[in-house]
Structure 1
Amino acid sequence: MKAFLVIVIFLLIVAIVCLVYLIVQNNKKRLELEKEKYLFDSKMRYLQLENLESRLDPHLFKNILNSIQSHAYQTYYALDKMAGVLDYILYDSQRKMVSLKEEHEFALRLIDINKIKLNPLFRLDIRSNIGEGEVFYTEELIAPLICVELIENAFKHADLASTDAFISILFKLKNGHFDLLVSNKKSRMKTLHKEKGGYGLTALNKRLELIYGNAYKLEKNEDDHIYSTHLKINLHDFKTKMHTTR
């Protein structure tokens, strides 16, 4: 009887050891599969971003050159501004992330180039509300060229002829939250539409989603007279996410 109990206990111990071994191996395989899935998803996100970004530069170059060519009398002024814009597009935009300071300065130069299309009496309201001591202003947390689409759309589709026409652009950074608000009076002669090939706000939204996930929002509002867009990025949450996923 004693020998039988010893055998039973031994078999139970062996069974427990085997069960623990199987559980450990299954967990190990599960973790390996999760890691492979994460790497696959990361590669897919990278390829999607590369595809989106590769389509951006020609679109931007075309709009800039059209602005300059149609206002030859201001070409010298425009080319001076364009030098900084092209440096940013050719070099800085190749980086995965830039600082908000760099993107902000680029956006202001881009606005200056687009200003040459406007009548001197046109109401253009550009404001920058950057909180003092905002460390997020100089940290590299911004995907390059994310301001382009909103700004270009405002100049492209604004009513440039009416006496009450306007374009308003606000850059805001407070407590780690970046906001870009753009609004304009709509032209009676133009309708907002997607760019050829589907590029436009849809592509921007996809790019932002791939990069920032839940840390951003892109909203648009439209009525019979006004079109507005509002980009919000929680830089604090995005920075935290970057550190936890490394």
Structure 2
Amino acid sequence: MISILILILVIVILVLCIVIWRLWQSEKTKKGLLKNYSTLEMKVDGLKLDTLESRLNPHLFKNILNSIQSHAYQTYFALDKLANVLDYILYDSQQKWVTPKQEIEFALNLIEINKIKISPLFELTVKTKINENEKLYEEALLAPLLSIDLIENAFKHADLQSPDAFITVIFEFKDNCFMLTVSNKVSDKKAMKKDRSGLGTVTLEQRLKIIYKNQFKLDRLVEKNVYTAHLKINLLDYKTQMHTAR
């Protein structure tokens, strides 16, 4: 009887040992699985990060490339305008007369070049009010480079730092009259004197008097710190005067 009880007790102890061993094995397996899961999760997160970076880096590169392309285009655009200006100065302006169309196109190219040195936020307004149907618009009756002085002076003397600074340029051709109006906020700072600063307003007026006599009007005024220059040339009356003189 005793031997049977001892046998049963041994079996129970053996079973308990097996259960305890299996529980220990199960816990060990669980810890191993958790560790493997954490490692796998880190790998997945790393893969996601790598994938995200692989997307971000090309995107960043593309943005930089677009920026460079934009500056390159701006440079190309400016050089193209400069080439047009040089063509006009070297070839067209060597002629005694140009058409109002040629002079206005030259002036617009000149403005585009000057735009490079001002902030994109600066208020620069350029308007053209052209009646291209008028016969004299494409007839050579205009002395070349009449626009350069008024436009260059505006960029030279404008108050580029003031929040309400501006330059306004208006080209008009109607009733066979060429008109140019340039306005700008005057800077309080004195412009730097240059030995060679273009034709100059005085020289411009002298040219106009010699060429067009009484067929032009050049007005200059300063009102509320705004400088305005307005040039008007009556080409029809000048053409009539030329034929009469002949």
**If the TM-score is normalised by the length of the shorter chain, which range does it land in?**
0.5 to 0.7
Counterparts in 2 of 1:5-154, with a 5 A limit?
74-154=74-154
Determine the C-alpha separation between the residues in 2 that align with 1:178 and 1:102: 12
Counterpart of 1:231 in 2: which secondary structure? strand
| Alignment-derived partner of residue 184 in structure 1 | 184
- Percent identity (aligned): 57
Determine the C-alpha separation between the residues in 2 that align with 1:198 and 1:171: 21
Give per-residue Cα distances to partners, 1:137-192, cap 9 Å, x unaligned. 10101100000000000011101111111000000111112210000001121259
Determine the C-alpha separation between the residues in 1 that align with 2:222 and 2:211: 26
| Alignment-derived partner of residue 59 in structure 2 | none
TM-score normalised to the size of structure 1? 0.66
Determine the C-alpha separation between the residues in 2 that align with 1:211 and 1:194: 27
| Alignment-derived partner of residue 56 in structure 1 | none
| Alignment-derived partner of residue 203 in structure 1 | 203
Determine the C-alpha separation between the residues in 2 that align with 1:171 and 1:198: 21
Determine the C-alpha separation between the residues in 2 that align with 1:107 and 1:142: 13
| Count of residues in Structure 1 that have an aligned counterpart in Structure 2 | 176
| Alignment-derived partner of residue 227 in structure 2 | 227
Taking a change above 3 Å as real, the CA distance of residues 93 and 162 of structure 1, as seen in their structure-2 partners, is same
**Offset, 1:75:** 3.8
Taking a change above 3 Å as real, the CA distance of residues 192 and 242 of structure 1, as seen in their structure-2 partners, is farther
| Alignment-derived partner of residue 214 in structure 2 | 214
Counterpart of 1:81 in 2: which secondary structure? helix
1:125, 1:168 within 8 Å by CA — same for their partners in 2?
Answer: yes
* Greater Rg over alpha carbons, structure: 2
| Alignment-derived partner of residue 157 in structure 1 | 157
Taking a change above 3 Å as real, the CA distance of residues 199 and 90 of structure 1, as seen in their structure-2 partners, is closer
1:130, 1:174 within 8 Å by CA — same for their partners in 2?
Answer: yes
| Alignment-derived partner of residue 34 in structure 1 | none
In structure 1, list runs of 5 or more residues that go unmatched. 1-70
Counterpart of 1:143 in 2: which secondary structure? coil
**Offset, 1:77:** 2.8
TM-score normalised to the size of structure 2? 0.66
